Amino acid sequence: MEYQVRDISLAPLGWQKINWVKNNMPLLRGLEEEFLKTKPFQGIKISLSVHLEAKTAYLSLVLAAGGAEMSVTGSNVLSTQDDVAAALADAGLKVFAYHGATEEEYYRHIEMCLEHKPNILIDDGADLVTMLHTKRPDLAAEIWGGCEETTTGVIRLKAMARQGVLKFPMVAVNDADCKHLFDNRYGTGQSTWDSIMRNTNLIIAAKKVVVVGYGWCSRGIAMRAAALGANVIVTEIDPIKAIEAKMDGFDVMPMRQAAPLGDIFVTATGCCKTITVEHMMKMKDGAILSNAGHFDSEIDMAGLKEAAVATKEARKNITGYQLTSGNWVNVVAEGRLVNIAAADGHPAEIMDLSFAVQALSAMYIKDHHKELENTVIDVSDEIDSVIARRKLAAWGVEIDKLTKEQEDYLNSWEV
């Protein structure tokens, strides 16, 4: 079977969503035009595992316009949008994903996506790469390399490279300036609050918001919470990040002190158990908990389920858990990444930048895989600069250029 989606008849709704984002993704539209003429991926097989919503679908279509034979799956059991998956199947792409898959079905979809025997991977969290290195190494016969979308995936790949087990080169798309500076900070910053607001229908102003971490995502989340009028507390383990948070005007303290103060908690660290049952026992009745990090290991959901004396569906996408104290905590999207599992993910203009990096990095793998080592590779400054300039051009923004005199001055050392 060439696709496994929930309901192919949902395709028209999916096309509506894809066309909406396409109108707001000028960089990808430009690449699509170029690719239709030059067909850089003609005959090349690409397997893609990225949160399967409209922006990802458009990236898949752009790569297909370049001649790629695409095989697509999601990257989280709750982030696939069934109408969008149906639209891709309708377009003739191989698609294996549906919303609410079991863990077993999810990993079967990853395998089915790889049965394509890809030359290039587009991964988000390194599940494709991990499958090719563990259960299904037989599917890696034709692989040249791939691109990794997120911080957690890059961390996993670097661990593999350090141990000398990574079998092909992987480009750290996440680490490109045109990715993490905008996607992780402004994209996660805005879409996390979009999700919390639409799912709770509560005011953010005047709330005490506890943000766990002060990295690229979490500082965006803290910045946007403050802009909405919240009182923000940051918890960190890195002293430098803690100073940054303090100088940006936030209270900084350990989670054991923040737990009884917060109304809304958001964790985005890439670490595990940043919010434990012990913390939850100290929280106010009705505290809201959410996670924007890649895996659902940041809030100790297993511990919470064990400790809870009662549970209820408090609202769509929100589960209430009652603890022995009698207090309830409300978890959004089962502790899975809140902005994608219970909303539409990052804004289209943000993913335009991130996915332009993906498309050009896939071209880089195609052109250079023979000379690359089996390790994690940085995106070239040239790719970052081309994308940044195209983005500014799409906005109609011009910037200055160094004069010859300024260039000479910056290259000189004599006074």
Nearest distance, CB of residue 128 and ligand NAD, angstroms: 15
Nearer to ligand NAD, 60 or 274 (CB): 274
Q: What's the half-sphere exposure (Cβ side, CA atoms, 13 Å) at 340? A: 30
- Smallest gap, in angstroms, from Cβ of residue 220 to ligand NAD? 8
Residue type, 114: L
Structure tokens at 249: 């005007």
CB of 175 to ligand NAD, least distance (A): 9
Residue 256 neighbours by CB distance under 10 Å:
12
**Pick 136 or 273: Cβ nearer ligand NAD:** 273
By C-beta, is 226 or 271 nearer to ligand NAD?
271
**Beta-strand pair 318-322/310-315:** antiparallel
**Whole-number Å distance between alpha carbons of 266 and 381:** 33
Residue 189 binds ligand NAD, judged by CB under 6 A: no
Cross-strand partners of 233: 210, 251
CB-wise, 89 or 129, nearer to ligand NAD? Answer: 129
CA-based radius of gyration for the chain:
22
Strand order in 318-322's β-sheet? Answer: 251-252, 231-235, 208-212, 264-267, 287-291, 328-332, 318-322, 310-315
Among 236, 296, 300, 352, binds ligand NAD (CB under 6 A): 236
Is 213 a binding residue for ligand NAD by CB under 6 A? The answer is: yes
Q: Binding string, 114-153, against ligand NAD, x = CB under 6 A?
A: ------------------------------------xxx-
Among 215, 233, 317, 348, binds ligand NAD (CB under 6 A): 215
Asked if 381 interacts with ligand NAD (CB under 6 A), we say: no
Instruction: Give residues 254-293 in contact with ligand NAD (rule: CB under 6 A).
Output: 268-271, 274, 292-293
332 Cβ contact partners less than 8 Å away, ≥ 6 residues apart = 195, 196, 199, 200, 288, 289, 290, 317, 318, 338, 342
Residues contributing to the site for ligand NAD (CB under 6 A): 150-152, 180, 184, 188, 212-218, 235-238, 241, 268-271, 274, 292-294, 337, 339-340, 346
